[in-house]
Amino acid sequence: MSELSVEHLLGIKYLKPNDIDVIFKTADHFKEVINRPIKKVPSLRDITIANLFFENSTRTKLSFELAEKRLSADVINFSAGQSSVKKGETLIDTVNNILAMKVDIVVMRHGNVGAGVFLSKHVDAKIINAGDGTHEHPTQALLDSYSIREKLGTVKGKKIVIIGDILHSRVALSNIFALQLQGAQVKVCGPTTLIPKHIASLGVTVETNLKKALEWCDVANVLRVQHERMDIKYFPSTREYTQLYGINQEILDNLGKKLVIMHPGPINRGVEITSDVADSNDSIILNQVENGVAVRMAVIYLLAQQIKR
Binding site for ligand CP (CB under 6 A): 57-60, 131, 137, 140, 264-266
Residue 90's Cβ-count burial label (10 Å; 0-12, 13-18, 19+) is: exposed
Is the Cβ of residue 207 or residue 262 nearer to ligand CP in the bound state?
A: 262
Minimum Å gap between C-beta 79 and ligand CP is: 13
> Quick one: DSSP state of residue 52?
E
Is the Cβ of residue 48 or residue 140 nearer to ligand CP in the bound state?
A: 140
Chain position whose Cβ is nearest to ligand CP: 60
Cα 79 to the center of its chain, rounded Å: 19
Minimum Å gap between C-beta 294 and ligand CP is: 16
Is the Cβ of residue 133 or residue 265 nearer to ligand CP in the bound state?
A: 265
Taking the CA atoms of 284, 289, 294 and 297 in sequence, report the sign of the dihedral they define. Answer: positive
Minimum Å gap between C-beta 270 and ligand CP is: 19
Is the Cβ of residue 65 or residue 207 nearer to ligand CP in the bound state?
A: 65
> Quick one: DSSP state of residue 262?
E
Minimum Å gap between C-beta 211 and ligand CP is: 27
Minimum Å gap between C-beta 140 and ligand CP is: 5
What are the strands of the beta sheet with 185-189, ordered from one edge?
A: 205-207, 185-189, 159-163, 219-222, 260-262
Is the Cβ of residue 34 or residue 267 nearer to ligand CP in the bound state?
A: 267
256: left (phi over 0), alpha (psi -120 to 50) or beta: left
